[in-house]
C-alpha cells in the first residue's frame, strides 16, 4: 500500500460501546461486507454524533457499498459531516468529495492531512516503499543529476526519511533536508545524513514556507531535489517560486511527478495523489525561466500490483 488517509479506527470515540461497534464494522469491511459495516458505523455514530473520524470511516464504507458516483450521496454527506466537525480536514474529506464529483478538485491537499499521513507512515516508510513497492525514484534521480556533480549545497525538498539523501550524500558538500512531517524528519535525523533538517510546507509562499531565515539564505543551492513529493500537491504555482529562490545561478532542479498523460494540467487520482502532465510541467519550467536538461518517463513504483508511471525532470536556472 501507498500512504492512505489516517486509519480512523486509531482514534477512540470516547464511548466503549461505539468503539466496539466500530471494531466489528472494520472486521466486516475487511471481509467485503460493506453494507453490514455501514449499518454498524451508523449505530456507533448514533452514540457519538460528533466523532469526525467515525463520520469519515462511514463515508469510506458507504462509498464502497455504493461505488456509483451518482448514488454516492450518503458517502458525500458523511464526508461533509467529518469536514464540518474537523475543519482542518486531517482526514482528507475534501479530496474524497472531489473524487465523487461533489466539489471541485482542490489546488492542493490540506497541509494537516499530508502532515498526519506521513507522521503515521514514517516508521514503516522505507520498508513499505523500497521492499514492497519497488520504489526507484531516489536512485533514478541521483543517476540523472550525476553528470552535474559534485554539488556544494543540496536542498532536498520533501526529504522524508532520507532515501534521496543517502543517494546524494557523497556528492554533496552541504546537504539540507526539509519535510512537513516531524516523524519523517526524526527518521532522517537518525540516519545522520543531513547537515541541516527543518520543517517546511511547500504549499505556502516562500516567506511562509520555513525554507528561509537569517541562517538559511536565498540562492544557496546548486541542486534542489523533490523526489516523489509533488504528487502530494496539485497546483505547483507555489513550488517553482520557492525553487527559484533556493537555486544559485546555474543550479539544477531535479524532481519527479506521476504521469497524468496528455492532459493540460493535473488531476487527482483515487489514491488521493495528484498526477501532472508533461505539458503542464514544461509550461511551468518555461514560465519560471528554467532550462529543460532531461525528461525521462519511467515506472516509479508499484501499487496494488500495477506499475505507477512517472516522469523525471532535470532543469537548470540560467546564470
Q: What are the residue ranges spanned by the domains of the chain? A: 8-104, 121-316
Least Cα distance to 224 among 309, 313, 301 occurs for 313
Task: Name 274's bridge partners.
Answer: 268
What is residue 4's predicted lDDT score, i.e. its pLDDT?
44
Extended beta strands in 263-319, E state: 266-268, 274-276, 291-303, 306-316
- Which stretches within the chain are classed as H helix? 16-30, 34-47, 52-65, 73-85, 93-99, 111-121, 125-126, 137-145, 163-168, 182-191, 239-246, 278-287
What is residue 9's predicted lDDT score, i.e. its pLDDT?
40
Q: Does domain 8-104 have CATH number 1.25.40.10?
A: yes
What is residue 5's predicted lDDT score, i.e. its pLDDT?
42
* SS3 (DSSP) at 309: strand
What is residue 130's predicted lDDT score, i.e. its pLDDT?
66
Least Cα distance to 194 among 179, 206, 212, 176 occurs for 176
pTM, two decimals, is 0.89
Q: Angle of helix 16-30 relative to helix 52-65, nearest 10 degrees?
A: 30
What is residue 7's predicted lDDT score, i.e. its pLDDT?
42
Which residues of the chain have a pLDDT value below 70?
1-11, 69-71, 126, 130-131
Question: If you classify domain 121-316 with CATH, what class do you get?
Answer: alpha beta
Residues 6+ away with beta carbon under 8 Å from 113: 5, 89, 90, 91, 92, 95
Amino acid at each position: 500500500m501507498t500512504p492512505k488517509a489516517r486509519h480512523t479506527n486509531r482514534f477512540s470515540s470516547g464511548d466503549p460501546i461505539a468503539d466496539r461497534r466500530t471494531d466489528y464494522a472494520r472486521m466486516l469491511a475487511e471481509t467485503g461486507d460493506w453494507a453490514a459495516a455501514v449499518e454498524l458505523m451508523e449505530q456507533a455514530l448514533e452514540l457519538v454524533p460528533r466523532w469526525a473520524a467515525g463520520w469519515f470511516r462511514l463515508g469510506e464504507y458507504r462509498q464502497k457499498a455504493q461505488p456509483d458516483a451518482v448514488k454516492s450521496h450518503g458517502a458525500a454527506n458523511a464526508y461533509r459531516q467529518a469536514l464540518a466537525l474537523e475543519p482542518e480536514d486531517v482526514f482528507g474529506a475534501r479530496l474524497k468529495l472531489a473524487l465523487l464529483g461533489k466539489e471541485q478538485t482542490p489546488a492542493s491537499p490540506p497541509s494537516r492531512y499530508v502532515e498526519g499521513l506521513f507522521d503515521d507512515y514514517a516508521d514503516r516508510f522505507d520498508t513499505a516503499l523500497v521492499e514492497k513497492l519497488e520504489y526507484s525514484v531516489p536512485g533514478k534521480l541521483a543517476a540523472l543529476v550525476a553528470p552535474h556533480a559534485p554539488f556544494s549545497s543540496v536542498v532536498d525538498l520533501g526529504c522524508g526519511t532520507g532515501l534521496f539523501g543517502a543517494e546524494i550524500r557523497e556528492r554533496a558538500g552541504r546537504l539540507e533536508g526539509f519535510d512537513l512531517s516531524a516523524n519523517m524528519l526524526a527518521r532522517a535525523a537518525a540516519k545522520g545524513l543531513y547537515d541541516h533538517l527543518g520543517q517546511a510546507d511547500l504549499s505556502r509562499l516562500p516567506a511562509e514556507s520555513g525554507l528561509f531565515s537569517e541562517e538559511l539564505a536565498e540562492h544557496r543551492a546548486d541542486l534542489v531535489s523533490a523526489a516523489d513529493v509533488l504528487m502530494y500537491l496539485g497546483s505547483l504555482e507555489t513550488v517553482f517560486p520557492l525553487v527559484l529562490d533556493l537555486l544559485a545561478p546555474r543550479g539544477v532542479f531535479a524532481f519527479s511527478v506521476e504521469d497524468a498523460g496528455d492532459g493540460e494540467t493535473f488531476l487527482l487520482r483515487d489514491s488521493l495523489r495528484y498526477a501532472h502532465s508533461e505539458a503542464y510541467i514544461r509550461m511551468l519550467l518555461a514560465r519560471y525561466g528554467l532550462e529543460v536538461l532531461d525528461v525521462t518517463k519511467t515506472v516509479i513504483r508499484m501499487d496494488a500490483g500495477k506499475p505507477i508511471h512517472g516522469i523525471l525532470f532535470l532543469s537548470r536556472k540560467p546564470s
